[in-house]
Amino acid sequence: MQAYEFINSLIPPLKLSDRTSMALGWMEEIRTAFLPVVHQGKFLGFISDEIIYEINDPDLLISEIELEAGTCWVYTDKHIYDVLRVASDNQINLVAVLDRENSYMGVITMEDAISAFADSLSIKSQGSVLILSMNMSDYHLSEIARLVESENTKILSSFITTDPLDDTKIKLTLKMDKPDLKHVKATLERFGHRIIDHYQEETGISPDADRIGNLLRFLDI
């Protein structure tokens, strides 16, 4: 799940000597709002179609435009989680990938990153999602897993986020391998765990829609 595995070879970098008209042409062809700019093998930042439209000069060189998101990059050996974090911090749907000598290697699209993220969290696996709220000091995954497994159920993956309603608490999201969580919920509640939501896998949904829906529910978006 390292960044270099997800580089999209179809997205070319621009040079400082390229013109905005060419940049727009490439953006329209590959359907992206951003393109990376590279000079002598070094990543400089991204240029957006919004900036180009505002300037409205097709002959202007890329070198004459202020670039965006110069820090939106990761090293090749970083995990896909880091790619998503950097993209979120910079509010952009591309992340540049550099080697340890800071040479430009390519970019990762958010579509590819989210797909990889979904795979890493067992989103495609059948089952259900359970969300618990607790103090960070009370978080012991081994104990929770023991209770879950006592009901003949497995935790496929877990995810922690800060509770937006109370910054002293966390939300623990669990993906289970069983669609029916009735007994698991009863056991967890009997041992003092507070369950704030759950999602049972539905049938009759297309695979793509089901996968996206499961990912959004898993992330509690």
pTM beyond cutoff 0.75: no
3-state helix, strand, coil in the chain (%, to 5): 35, 30, 35
Residue 218 tokens read as: 């898993």
In three-state form (DSSP H/G/I as H, E/B as E, the rest C), the secondary structure along 103-167 is CEEEEEEHHHHHHHHHHHCCCCCCCEEEEEEEEHHHCCHHHHHHHHHCCCCCEEEEEEEECCCCC
| pLDDT over threshold 90, residue 157 | no
Higher pLDDT, 209 or 159: 159
| pLDDT exceeds cutoff 90 at 210 | no
Helix (H, G, I), strand (E, B) or coil at 20: helix
For residues 216 and 103, what is the distance between their CA atoms, to the nearest angstrom?
A: 34
**For the residues 161-173, what does the mean pLDDT come to?**
80
pLDDT at 178 over 60: yes
**pLDDT tens for residues 99-134?**
999 999 999 998 888 777 666 555 555 678 888 998
Stronger pLDDT, 198 or 28, i.e. the higher one: 28
Quickly count helices (H) and strands (E) in the chain.
7, 9
- CATH T-level assignment (fold) for domain 122-218: Alpha-Beta Plaits (3.30.70)
Owner of token pair 């793509």 = 208
Q: Which two tokens stand for residue 109?
A: 């699209």
What strands, in cross-sheet order, belong to the sheet with 169-176? Answer: 155-162, 169-176, 128-135, 194-200
pLDDT at 179 over 90: no
For the chain, residues classed under CATH 3.30.70.260 are 122-218
The letter for the amino acid at 118 is A
Topology of domain 3-118 in CATH is: CBS-domain (3.10.580)
What CA–CA distance (Å, rounded) separates 200 from 163?
Answer: 22
Residues of the chain with CATH 3.10.580.10: 3-118
Per-residue confidence band for 168, with pLDDT thresholds at 50, 70 and 90: confident
Among candidate residues 169, 157, 165, 164, the one with its CA nearest the CA of residue 132: 169
